[in-house]
Chains A and B, each alone.
Chain A
Amino acid sequence: MKLQQLSLFLENRPGRLGAPLEVIAAAGINLMTLSLADTAQFGILRLIVREWEKAKRLLEDAGWVVNITEVVAVDVPDRPGGLADALKALEGAGLNIEYMYAFSLRRGDKAILIFRFEDPDAAIDQLQKAGLHVVGAEELFQHMP
């Protein structure tokens, strides 16, 4: 049920975000989504792609330090209050979120939340008990064009 997320280190200066994305695009790898966490000085680019092993190898060959993290995807109805309800359920379960980001699917009426937990297995358990739908890799990438 867990997804493999690629993270890579970027300096916070013009043009740095484009370079790794070009490497991925040149290999014909489609991005499901991305998130950029940044400080004044550096950024961490996080990517969700179907062919994560190939993307990791290509990025490392091009000189980036790439880290693989297991994250958990949950889908929520794409309507006002959808996210709030999901977060309420999470808080009730007492789960600690390291960070999260969200995106809407191109087709359909759902938004996907990506969570980074310290213990993803325990979190999946709790999420399901709380009645949330955890989306596995296979299901998620069905939405890819």
Chain B
Amino acid sequence: MLTELWNDAAGGFHPASAPDFLPEERLREVQLRRLKAVVARAYDKVALFRSRMEERGVRPDDIRSLRDIARLPFTVKADLRDTYPFGLFASPMSDVVRLHASSGTTGKPIVVAYTRDDVDVWSEVMARTFAACGLHRGDVVQNAFGYGLFTGGLGAHYGAEALGATVIPISGGNTDRQIMVMRDFGVTALCATPSYFTHVIERAGELGVDMKALPLRVGVFGAEPWSDAMRARIQADAGIKAFDIYGLSEIIGPGVASECDAHDGLHVFEDHFYPEIIDPQTGEPLPDGAEGELVLTTLSKKAMPMIRYRTRDITSLLHERCACGRTIRRIRRIGRRSDDMFIIRGVNVYPSQVEAALLAVEGTLPHYQIILSRDHGLDQMAVEVEVTAEVFSDKVRALEDVRARLAHAIEHILGIRVDLRLVEPRSIERSQGKAKRVIDRRNA
């Protein structure tokens, strides 16, 4: 690495970020060259891609401009499951240096592979992520993303090392130890899921540790949607700047997109991951600025190229130049997933809508859980909300009033009746990774 020769001290421009500032014309050239190469590779090496392209009558040399990407077939998560474990690999196992797998909440997990070059690209985009979050050589990064088959831990680890920062590979869980390390090792930045970090804040309070007095100044959060209100709370309670990052194993892991200091959308590292927005119903491409489903094509992946992968994440693509000067486009913060959404009595509901209602009433986000059930064929939605010291009262009327206001706020946003239940503190299971916000018992 050439980092030694660059000004990568605090406050300076980090060399890892250079591709973020490519002139647009140059960026499109790089993308087109890489797109042609990856489509040719996928067609040559992966049976599924070749047969899908043949069905559509598309050949690799039909890709002459970036617009031609719309002629290519989509790839979906089921394709990875159906070809489990190695069916979409474009490299022989002798060139694969790493395998990861998704947690696989339903049935078989999905497996993803990396060549040496892929790992280098991944380290680069994660270094660019951390640089965008204002980290430098000299920062001490506590990496509480899970290590193991999950891509979060090792992805962030390699990126922080490539940046020149000091990494503490603590992984997730064991909250008391997290707090001890954070305090004793002079940690300046922490990576975690936002829901786990709120748990860390809560526990630090119980242990009498003042997070605001610690050197911790940056939080890098990802792997699940979180609201702006939750960000405001995290920033105020921990005295840090909280950044949203985005990624998915099927594409590379974390490192697909990251916020910068402007906190106005996430820059997609589009020299490696080509973004499109489509109408999730029709599959038609939508123009920049329109909201729809994010579709990504890996432009430089070797072991496992992905062509037009449907992420199920709902966002829009921002073309306007960002205040930070980066030329790469941004996606809006992802508040919802098209598969996180559930339908109850014909109404589309996203957990983030419930979250917004709870925040509006309580000022802070209490722990909550949505429980869906079916009673005599009719869908019921219950929201369990833990009672906090802020809202608890010795008067029944005051608590009934809190309950009614919470229910009303949710009903107002969703337009459907909810059974709002106040539950005892800490009765809802705490997540060490992604928060489980919805329990669907309708088909139990």
Tell me, in angstroms, the Cα distance from A10 to B423 when the chains sit together: 8
Report A22-59 CB contacts with B as 1/0, cut-off 8 Å.
00000000000000010101101010000000000000
Among the stretches B193-201, B255-263, B339-347, B384-392, the one at the interface with A is B384-392
With an 8 A cutoff between CB atoms, is A138 at the interface? no
Tell me, in angstroms, the Cα distance from A41 to B400 when the chains sit together: 10
Among A46, A65, A98, the residue within 8 A (CB) of B389 is A65
User: Are the CB atoms of A116 and B426 closer together than 8 Å?
Assistant: no
Among A11, A46, A69, the one with the most B-chain Cβ atoms within 10 Å of its Cβ is A11
Among B388, B394, B421, B426, the residue within 8 A (CB) of A7 is B394
With an 8 A cutoff between CB atoms, is B170 at the interface? no
Interface of B is mostly: loop
Report B374-401 CB contacts with A as 1/0, cut-off 8 Å.
0000000000000111001111100110
Tell me, in angstroms, the Cα distance from A44 to B395 when the chains sit together: 8
Known: A9-B387, A65-B387, A65-B389. A39 touches B423 (CB 8 A): no
Tell me, in angstroms, the Cα distance from A144 to B181 when the chains sit together: 48
Give B420 Cβ to nearest chain A Cβ, in Å.
9
User: Are the CB atoms of B394 and A69 closer together than 8 Å?
Assistant: yes
User: Are the CB atoms of B426 and A44 closer together than 8 Å?
Assistant: no
With an 8 A cutoff between CB atoms, is B338 at the interface? no
Residues of B within 8 A of A41 (CB): 403, 421-422
Tell me, in angstroms, the Cα distance from A11 to B421 when the chains sit together: 9
Binding site for B on A (CB under 8 A): 5, 7, 9-11, 16, 37, 39, 41-42, 44, 46, 63-65, 67, 69, 98-99, 116
6 more contacts with CB within 8 A, not counting A11-B427, A65-B388, are: A7-B394, A9-B387, A11-B422, A41-B421, A63-B425, A116-B395
Q: Which 7 pairs between the two chains have the least Cβ-Cβ distance? A: A7-B394, A9-B387, A65-B392, A69-B394, A63-B426, A37-B396, A65-B389
